């Protein structure tokens, strides 16, 4: 973990590059540092996934309104300051990405950060070793 999941109305796909948004947000996550200056999120564990909604209704239906929800889920153990810094880094990156769209149309954007209280957490696979420093 961390995982950032994006749910969005598919009417945004013609107006912005969602893959570029995912990359920008992943890059923003990798810049977050803790109080000691250490990288907060492991490179091999950083994931951003975006999903268009198959069905949606936004606001009162008076226009072709759009919406995008960002949910960052991170494991426990990081300070509140780090949690806030991660959220702000992501919000800043999303604002930069969506600035041209926001200049043309109404879009609701919501970003939330959740800290895990896992009852079971298994991590396996061979991605992390690719980024191990050693």
Confidence of residue 122 (pLDDT cuts 50, 70, 90): confident
* Contact indicator for 9, 67 with CB cutoff of 8 Å: yes
Per-domain residue ranges for the chain? 3-131
**pLDDT tens string 27-57:** 999 999 999 999 999 999 999 999 999 999 9
**Hunting for tokens 């990081």 — which residue is that?**
78
State the virtual CA torsion across 124, 26, 106, 68 in degrees, nearest 10.
Answer: 10
Say what the pTM is: 0.88
Per-residue model confidence (pLDDT) at position 128: 72
Q: How many CA atoms lie within 13 A of 23 on its CB side?
A: 5
Question: What CATH topology corresponds to 3-131?
Answer: Macrophage Migration Inhibitory Factor (3.30.429)
């Amino acid at each position: 973990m961390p995982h950032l999941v994006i749910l969005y109305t598919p009417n945004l796909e013609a107006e912005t590059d969602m893959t570029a948004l995912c990359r920008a947000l992943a890059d923003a996550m990798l810049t977050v540092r803790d109080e000691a200056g250490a990288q907060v999120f492991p490179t091999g564990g950083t994931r951003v996934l975006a999903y268009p909604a198959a069905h949606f209704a936004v606001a009162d239906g008076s226009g072709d309104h759009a919406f995008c929800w960002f949910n960052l889920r991170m494991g426990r153990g990081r300070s509140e300051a780090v949690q806030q810094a991660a959220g702000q880094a992501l919000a800043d990156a999303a604002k930069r990405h969506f600035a041209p769209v926001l200049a043309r149309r109404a879009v609701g954007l919501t970003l939330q950060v959740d800290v895990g209280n896992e009852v079971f957490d298994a991590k396996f696979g061979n991605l992390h070793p690719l980024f191990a420093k050693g």
